[in-house]
Amino acid sequence: MKTILAIGVALIVMGAAVLGYDHYSYTTTEKVLQIGPLTATAERTHTVALPPILGWLLIAGGACALAFAALTRK
């Protein structure tokens, strides 16, 4: 029961985080040119968008888990 409660709280926190941060970016280093021992690299920034429905689904799943934990407690 306590694990379901913890999972529910974690899902709600993750859902709120997804709603707060709708995208995240990361940087990769790619080799652009190589001539003999000389190498030229470039850094590229990639952005991944997180849809708001994902956050709402996580919050709804967390609320269901909390309700299930409350109902099985009795």
> How sure is the predictor about 22, in pLDDT bands with cuts at 50, 70 and 90?
confident
pLDDT score of 1: 74
Amino acid 54 reads: L
What is the pLDDT, as a whole number, of residue 73?
Answer: 79
Residue 42 tokens read as 């470039």
Is the per-residue pLDDT at 26 higher than 90?
yes
Of 54, 57, 56, 49, whose CA–CA distance to 22 is shortest?
Answer: 49
Single pTM value for the model: 0.71
Q: What is the pLDDT of residue 10?
A: 96
